[in-house]
Structure 1
Amino acid sequence: MNRFVLSMMLVAFASQSEAAEVSDAKQPNIVLLFADDAGYGDFGFHGSHHFKTPHLDQLAKRGVRLSNFYVSGATCGPSRAGMLTGQYQQRFGYEEINVPGIMSESSKLLGDEMGLPTDLKTMGDHLQAHGYHTGIFGKWHMGVADRYHPLKRGFDEFYGFRGGARSFFAYANPKSTARENLIERNFGNYQEHDGYLTQVLADETCDFIERNQKKPFFAYVSFSAVHAPMEADPQDKDQFFELEGTRRTAAQMMLSMDRACGQIIEKLKDLGLEQDTIVVFTNDNGGPMDRNGSSNYPFSGVKGTQLEGGIRVPGIVAWPGKLPTGTVYERPLTTLDLLPTFVKAGGGDPTLIERLDGVDMMPFLQGKNKERPHQTLHWKMETRAAIRDGDWKLLRFPDRPAQLYNLAEDPAEQNNLAGKHPEKVKTLFQKQFDWELELARPLFMLRRQEEGWSARRTDEFRAPPAADY
């Protein structure tokens, strides 16, 4: 046997061994803890003096906190559509409204037609393809028609409700309640829960984890807290006497959600799965403030606006042994990055997925890649838009001049620099316009009148709310 043939055999053997090592590597379990309408400033790990989040604070200490973490949309439905697909939702026309639940008579004509387009693969689809058992617990909000159902969109199990919001307590008359608001187990099995919904979702998630501990699983825990209706767990009725009204209720609801997160994390520890599980905590958009008493301090803006308070959200990623502990990653990342991160960790190649806008976060969080994960990020709803390029951010409006901010120096967006840097305004306008040329036309053109975000001036939300922080 000549030396060349021998060397080729050795190379082939080494390649086979490497492939075997990769295939034998244990796929991590994945738990995505997802809050609803929470305020950026209402977490202990963000410095809140009144709200209590001890379990999430501990998660932040044993993982990486993302200080510049963004959603792709400033309202619940579009934000979730982007996260679940890994691409800007505007690419497939899902930008204008939250669905379902449109309240005007004319929009009822759309009915069940509104939902995440069925030709798109979700996070669940991709993880199923890599051998994961997938479950969603809580709010779906991606369409109420049967064809949009979670069990047809990449999830093996579902316990929750198809709509966007519901009572935290069981409905006394389920037969007179809209189907999308009812608690559903898997497909078509409707039965209202016993107890407080946030706690029930934690119980169901823990049961899912225990039943699937011998195989890789993905649990998407989509809490409806602290979204309205403002209903606290009775066991927390004696908490937060220093707060009043809706803000006190929000603090109680946040405490309940934190307790639920702690219960799920403790279940992982009890089963010896903590080292083998990626746990992510984040939120769908900024807090609405006037609706649920939330605070987005230190940022201006609320849910529905493209100020930082509407689109920058808490983010924590923990993976023992694979990620540093107690650190802060300060460069911009986005919920669009979750899908490619999960797929890569699960043994897939996200670069083979068409039209992804997200990136695998792990090399950046591990310090292996020192570059910026995203030089540019975009937001758009109707004619309003925003672009972040490096540390510069441009806000575009239909009824007044654009605003320009340097987020490194002015994260609260108090000092408009558009007049001082007209060339920067022009450059960012062009970049945003070029991106918009890639997008599909909006699928749903009707807006919910009771939200009214597009009619309200950004100036209303300019000053960061410091009260009760």
Structure 2
Amino acid sequence: MKRSILFMLALVCAISTQVVAAGTPPVELSSKPNIVLLFSDDAGYGDFGFHGSVHFKTPHLDQLAASGVKLSQFYVTGATCGPSRAGLLSGRYQQRLGFEEINVPGIMSENSKLLGDEMGLPTDFSTMGNYLQELGYRTAVFGKWHMGVADRYHPLKRGFDEFYGFRGGARSFFAYSNPKKAKHENLIERNFGNYKEHEGYLTDALANETCAFIERSKDVPFFTYVSFNAVHTPMEPDPKDKGEFPQLEGKRRQVAQMTLSMDRACGQIINKLKELGLYENTIIVFSNDNGGPMDKNGSSNYPFAGVKGTQLEGGIRVPGLISWTGRLPAGAVYDKPMTTLDLIPTFVKAGGGNSDVLEGLDGVDMVPYLTGANKGRPHQTLHWKMETRGTIIDGDWKLLRFPDRPAELFNLAEDPGEQNNLATEKPELVKALFKKQFAWELELQRPLFMLRRQEEGWSARRADEFRVPPSASY
């Protein structure tokens, strides 16, 4: 009997040693990690301390970067808010769902009145919330929804147990003095149909509500999607930050102040996890929906060319941080392409599910790549499309297709700022990439919303205007 016990102890120790050696510390098999997705709006790639900003203050996000992995080549699936979020929440290229051209709701064309509330994320596809609910997670959205304002598109009908925020795409950071005069999609709503404006500054209110959700969900696995409307317009900093960043002026100063508020809110949420003893069993992700619009909100996408609405790197490459104590290395940088499409497979696998059997997803589980267990590329090829514009990244090569001029070709490994167009030097490669892009486009659904949107100023202008990266003195 004694020998049997000693043998079992030795076997357990051997197994534990092998697991630790593989870089994956043992955890309780029944313990699902909590998941917190922090998502900013229209932030500039260069406007964070962890990306080297010399003016902006983001101490809490900098600490998150130090505690986890920084994704240096992290992409969204669209260069504007709505399409990007459709890809994030569905785990599929949004063009597969017919969600391509329109930033729902409220496109700028007068013809949009013909569709109105009909525009939204199609309801015959599962969302990130649905997948995690099926694994036993309590789910919630805080902040901007922007996936349709009709009731059938509501978060509570799309896989989320709780909602506090607004259905539309942008609103004031302060409470409306006369809510009856505001559009209903811009009003603050708790769960379904309960409209009551928030108190104080909206970024703070979203953090407070998220912390309250974490508090009451601490005994079950939970997923919270914190969808800040910061630093999207209107440019309305918190009055308590009015003395910050005196070296900056105009919108540049305002966006720095709004970024500081958002960072403080992220810190409040992370500190709540630590206070409740949940931090070490929580996956925390921070990212942004598209590149900064620069002239709209004063953001900077340094060191990349391009802005929101363009498919240059400054329009589609975004900040990406992921932390999971004990499972992912701390202070690491991962430099191969990853995308928001990878979040659902990562969350599902971490939550005890099998993402390999979920049909239609376009992403991969990030963890084996981030731990070094898989040395390959998560994605050989990535695609973007909006109307007749198209972009493909294949390995280190990136091809941009335009409706009004020849295609452009760049080697991102050598020229991430997209300054040296090699299309005329490599015509065969251009042809091959065109064919790959066309083959992908044959898989897509026709756009559901067949209105040509009226481009906002920065996305209608030629990409050449944003070819030169902004000054490094950001």
SS at match of 1:293: coil
Q: 1:79: Cα distance to partner?
A: 0.3
Residue pair 2:163, 2:189 contacting (<8 A) in 1 also: yes
SS at match of 1:154: coil
Amino acid across the alignment from 2:427:
P
Q: 1:455: Cα distance to partner?
A: 3.1
Corresponding position of 2:454? 449
- Work out the CA distance in 1 between the residues paired with 2:414 and 2:108: 41
1:38-80 deviation line (CA, Å, top 9, x unaligned): 0000000000011110000000000000000000000000000
Corresponding position of 2:187? 182
Find out whether 1:39 has 2:44 as its counterpart.
Answer: yes
Amino acid across the alignment from 1:231:
E
Q: Classify 1:454/1:196 alpha carbon distance in 2 versus 1 (closer, same or farther; 3 Å).
A: closer
- Work out the CA distance in 1 between the residues paired with 2:468 and 2:456: 21
Corresponding position of 2:8? none
Q: 1:279: Cα distance to partner?
A: 0.2
Corresponding position of 2:87? 82
Corresponding position of 2:301? 296
Q: TM-score, normalised by structure 2?
A: 0.93
Residue pair 1:243, 1:468 contacting (<8 A) in 2 also: no
Q: Classify 1:330/1:75 alpha carbon distance in 2 versus 1 (closer, same or farther; 3 Å).
A: same
- Over the matched positions of the two proteins, sequence identity in percent amounts to 77
- Would you say how many aligned residue pairs link Structure 1 and Structure 2? 449
Find out whether 1:368 has 2:373 as its counterpart.
Answer: yes
Q: 1:22: Cα distance to partner?
A: 9.8
Corresponding position of 1:282? 287
Residue pair 1:102, 1:108 contacting (<8 A) in 2 also: no
- Work out the CA distance in 2 between the residues paired with 1:81 and 1:254: 24
Q: 1:443: Cα distance to partner?
A: 1.2
- Work out the CA distance in 2 between the residues paired with 1:443 and 1:262: 39
Corresponding position of 2:70? 65
Corresponding position of 1:153? 158
Find the partner of 2:434 among 429, 434, 452. Answer: 429
Corresponding position of 2:231? 226
SS at match of 1:56: helix
Find out whether 1:55 has 2:60 as its counterpart.
Answer: yes
Find the partner of 1:114 among 119, 125, 144. Answer: 119
Residue pair 1:287, 1:302 contacting (<8 A) in 2 also: yes
Residue pair 1:233, 1:252 contacting (<8 A) in 2 also: yes
Q: 1:104: Cα distance to partner?
A: 2.7
Corresponding position of 2:149? 144
Corresponding position of 1:133? 138
Q: 1:105: Cα distance to partner?
A: 2.2
Corresponding position of 1:258? 263
1:356-377 deviation line (CA, Å, top 9, x unaligned): 1010000000110001000000
Find the partner of 1:211 among 211, 216, 224. Answer: 216
Find the partner of 2:389 among 384, 387, 401. Answer: 384
Q: 1:454: Cα distance to partner?
A: 5.2
Corresponding position of 1:243? 248
Find out whether 1:414 has 2:415 as its counterpart.
Answer: no
Q: 1:445: Cα distance to partner?
A: 2.7
SS at match of 2:318: coil
Corresponding position of 1:466? 471
Structure 2 counterparts to residues 387-406 of structure 1, below 5 A: 387-406=392-411
1:311-346 deviation line (CA, Å, top 9, x unaligned): 000000000000000000000000000011001100
Corresponding position of 2:14? none
Amino acid across the alignment from 2:58:
T
Amino acid across the alignment from 2:380:
Q
Q: 1:176: Cα distance to partner?
A: 1.1
Find out whether 1:164 has 2:169 as its counterpart.
Answer: yes
SS at match of 1:267: helix
Q: TM-score, normalised by structure 1?
A: 0.94
SS at match of 1:250: helix
1:140-199 deviation line (CA, Å, top 9, x unaligned): 000000000000000000000000000000001101111000000000000000000000
* Runs of 5+ unmatched residues, structure 2: 1-25
1:10-54 deviation line (CA, Å, top 9, x unaligned): xxxxxxxxxxx9994300000000000000000000000111100
Amino acid across the alignment from 1:126:
Y
Amino acid across the alignment from 2:50:
F
Amino acid across the alignment from 1:69:
F
Residue pair 1:182, 1:190 contacting (<8 A) in 2 also: yes
Q: Classify 1:378/1:454 alpha carbon distance in 2 versus 1 (closer, same or farther; 3 Å).
A: same
Q: Classify 1:450/1:355 alpha carbon distance in 2 versus 1 (closer, same or farther; 3 Å).
A: closer
Q: 1:229: Cα distance to partner?
A: 0.4
- Work out the CA distance in 1 between the residues paired with 2:379 and 2:51: 23
- Work out the CA distance in 1 between the residues paired with 2:362 and 2:461: 30
Find out whether 1:335 has 2:355 as its counterpart.
Answer: no
